[in-house]
Amino acid sequence: MSADSSGLIVQPKVTDETPVIEVSDVRKRFGDQKALDGVSMSVYEGEVVAILGPSGSGKSTLVRCIDQLETIDGGSMRLDGELLGYERLGGHLRPMTPSGKQRQQRRMSMVFQQFNLFPHWTVLRNITEAPVHVHGATPAAARTRALELLERVGLSDKADAYPRHLSGGQQQRVAIVRAVAVDPRILLFDEPTSALDPELVDEVLQTMKQLAHTGRTMVVVTHELEFARNVADRCVFMADGRVVEDRPADAFFDDPQSERLRTFLARSG
């Protein structure tokens, strides 16, 4: 890392080996509850990493910390080598200004379990709002890009529809398009299919698989073991706020190292 002219250390040197996301010994408590108890993991460019684990193991907290929806109590996180949420001032780490934090958040996109589309906006407006008003795209360019992405997921004819006129699966595919439309460094998913009726799960997984194949860097919290096995490059198993296993997908499923993961796979499979 090097110091800029103001003396703040801000510009890391980015190499091919620099992870897109690097989580180091991150701790997060809610009252007495240790949600993350020293979590370390990295995600490299173009990788798809699935995060699995029982309910309450800290999966959502981890992706919410990465997306800076939660502040961490200890450890550090880096995006392309740049410290997330904190800046170093006179040798001390201080929480970053809200505008600095927003600048970092804009480089990531999260897809939630509950879609979170704005109900009073059309599909097209839901998708183009951030590119135009946050990222400075022209309305025409944002529209063209949105229509192109909708076409790819088979929803061109829904551009002018309102979310309530779409099925849950269609709404989630729109939410994914919205997340991709800002061209983020990394896409974060928190159980994107858990709120869907079973017959709508596959269309959303297909959309995610398609994205994975275009080389998107993705972190996916999911209970869909088959998706994790077939689409993820790497799987991370969490329990009690810790990473228990972090291995290539095949090894993860075929040769689990811990009793906890063996039990989890046996119960979920």
- With CB under 6 A as the contact rule, the residue among 21, 47, 50, 59 that binds ligand ADP is 59
Provide the minimum distance between the beta carbon of 218 and ligand ADP in the complex, in angstroms, as a whole number.
Answer: 17
User: Interface with ligand ADP includes 105 (CB under 6 A)?
Assistant: no
The β-bridge partners of 239 are: 242
Compute how many residues bind ligand ADP; rule: CB under 6 A.
11
Q: Which of 19, 38, 56, 100 binds ligand ADP (CB under 6 A)?
A: 56
Residue type, 212: A
Closer to Mg ion at the Cβ: 60 or 193? 60
Q: Counting contacts by CB under 6 A, is residue 193 touching ligand ADP?
A: no
From 235, 239, 256, 245, select the one nearest 48 (Cα to Cα).
Answer: 235
Nearest of 41, 63, 58 to residue 187 by alpha carbon: 63
Positions 61 through 100 that interact with ligand ADP (CB under 6 A) = 61
What ranges make up the beta strands (E) of 112-217? 186-190
Instruction: Find the shortest distance in angstroms from Cβ 181 to ligand ADP.
Output: 26
Which among 102, 90, 82, 41 has a CA at the least distance from the CA of 233? 41
Q: What is the spatial distance between Cα 262 and Cα 185, in angstroms, rounded to a whole number?
A: 33
For ligand ADP, give the closer residue by CB, 59 or 143: 59
Q: How far is the CB of 190 from ligand ADP (least distance, A)?
A: 7
Per-residue HEC secondary structure of 220-254 comes to: EECCCHHHHHHHCCEEEEEECCEEEEEEEHHHHHH
Give the Cα separation of 108 and 99 in Å (integer): 15
Task: Determine, following the binding rule CB under 6 A, whether residue 60 of this chain makes contact with ligand ADP.
Answer: yes
Binding flags for ligand ADP, 2-41, as an x/- string (CB under 6 A): ----------------------------x--x-x------
> Which residues contribute to the site for ligand ADP (CB under 6 A)?
30, 33, 35, 53, 55-61
